[in-house]
Amino acid sequence: MDRFSEYRIMWVLVFFDLPTETKKERKAAADFRKRITADGFTMFQFSIYLRHCPSRENADVHIKRVKSFLPDYGHIGIMCITDKQFGDIEIFTSKKPQKPQTGPQQLELF
């Protein structure tokens, strides 16, 4: 199978709804965002972050890392989809269709 197949390349999405009523909760929510951002996730929407991964094995590494960052309270979901599935997402900004974010350019060294 092709190493760069749209069925092998994965996107990891992290969805969350974290409490922010107290100073401690706000800090925990901010820390969670900072930690997943430091791991290469980018904001898709306010409480949805995503990361491009070259393989399922690499996605599993980042999923495990996100699980190690989970705060004590809140709801967090993690979903992994193929690049092909991600490419089929319909995104709209003020009724205007937008193209989904593309993955980073893959550099291959010999």
pTM for the model stands at 0.80
> For the segment 64-97, what is each residue's pLDDT rounded down to a tens digit?
999 999 999 999 999 999 999 999 988 888 877 7
Q: Quick one: pLDDT at residue 110?
A: 44
CA angle (102, 108, 110) in 5-degree steps: 175
**For residue 98, pLDDT beyond 90:** no
6 against 10, higher pLDDT: 10
Q: Domain 10-86's class?
A: alpha beta
Q: 7 falls in which pLDDT band (50, 70, 90)?
A: confident
98 against 63, higher pLDDT: 63
